[in-house]
Amino acid sequence: MKNILIHAADDMGMATRIESALTIGRRFGAHLSFLISSPYQQFIAADPFGGVYLAKEQLAQAQIADAELEKRLRAELEREDVPWDIAVADGAALSTMALAATLADLAIVSLGAADQRGRRASTIAADLALTVPIPVLALPAEASPIDLDAPMMVAWNGSPQAASALRAGVALMRDARAVTLVTVGDDDGRVAAEDALRYMSRHGVHGELRHEAKGMDAPEEVLVRVAGEIGAGLIVMGAFGRTRLRETLFGGVTRFMLDVAPAPLLLVH
């Protein structure tokens, strides 16, 4: 895990993304790449008669805001002991991050802030996890930066997505105080939980299996409860979904976890 891509934006989750990236960068000796996405095309408009107009004042303001963000980032990162770079890309965050992720090992983004009901609006994390071939670390905006020594939880259902998430996340688990692999209900997946534990063990991660019976609560509600009980600092899980007309429709578990995640999520499709 040597190349880490971070979504850079002037939002409430930026500080958590920076600190989490620095934590992982120091632990793995990684290079941090911060990407500011600027969809300048939104300032170009066309009229019904074929004319094209540029909203020059709004474009100039957006460029100034990007320059100020880059300046603040540089000032903060110059005090750190991790190699880094900052790039500004013309385009929406999803498309620019997806392109930059081609040669990255991990992408770091934020989940939206929770509302009064504890729910979050859809964020870049949702679509990015289904778009890029690398793990996506999705951080709750209001949460503390990732703690690689905290207990970690793996949501396991024997699917290829869960296996991909486990392979991607095993490096982050090596220093965790405890790792719990959680199954809910009957294990009807392709790969048994015991095989997953053996895979982890060969990577120096000695996990504990926790099987939860399927009762009145939905599987996603069980996962949130268990994560709270073990004090999980990271939840590793496969991302399920499909794309239709550029709208991501997630399976119940993934959608629920994106909405109410009690800890950072490591998502792999």
- Of residues 29 and 216, more confidence is placed in 29
pLDDT at 249: 37
pLDDT at 61: 79
Q: Measuring CA to CA, which residue among 156, 129, 113, 127 is closest to residue 260?
A: 113
Kindly indicate the confidence band of residue 188, based on its pLDDT and cuts at 50, 70 and 90.
Answer: low
Place of tokens 């429709």: 249
pTM (two decimals)? 0.88
pLDDT at 228: 95
Kindly indicate the confidence band of residue 28, based on its pLDDT and cuts at 50, 70 and 90.
Answer: very high
Kindly indicate the confidence band of residue 219, based on its pLDDT and cuts at 50, 70 and 90.
Answer: confident
- The span from the CA of 111 to the CA of 109, in Å, is 7
Q: What is the mean pLDDT of the chain?
A: 86
pLDDT at 31: 98
Least confident of 121-125, 134-138, 261-265: 121-125
SS3 (DSSP) at 14: helix
Report yes or no: 187 and 209 within 8 Å, Cβ to Cβ. no
- Of residues 115 and 77, more confidence is placed in 77
Concatenating the DSSP letter of every residue in 205-257 gives: ---EEEEE---SS-HHHHHHHHHHHHT-SEEEEE--EEEETTEEEE-HHHHHH
Concatenating the DSSP letter of every residue in 41-82 gives: GGGEEE-TTS-EEE-HHHHHHHHHHHHHHHHHHHHHHTTSSS
- The domain 1-142 is placed in CATH, from the list 1.20.58.2050, 3.40.50.620, 3.40.1110.10, 3.30.565.10, at 3.40.50.620
Report yes or no: 234 and 146 within 8 Å, Cβ to Cβ. yes
Kindly report, as residue ranges, where domains of CATH 3.40.50.620 are found in the chain.
1-142, 147-269
List of long-range contacts for 243-249, beta carbons under 8 Å, 24+ apart: 243/127, 243/130, 248/122, 248/126, 248/127, 248/130
pLDDT at 120: 52
SS3 (DSSP) at 117: coil
Buried b / exposed e along 243-259 (16+ C-beta atoms within 10 A): eeeeebebeebbbbbbb
- The span from the CA of 8 to the CA of 245, in Å, is 27
Instruction: With a cut of 80, say whether residue 72 has pLDDT above it.
Output: yes
Least confident of 54-68, 134-148, 203-217: 54-68
Count of residues making up the chain = 269
- The domain 147-269 is placed in CATH, from the list 3.40.50.620, 3.30.470.160, 3.30.365.10, 3.40.50.2020, at 3.40.50.620
Least confident of 20-24, 122-126, 210-214: 122-126
pLDDT at 242: 45
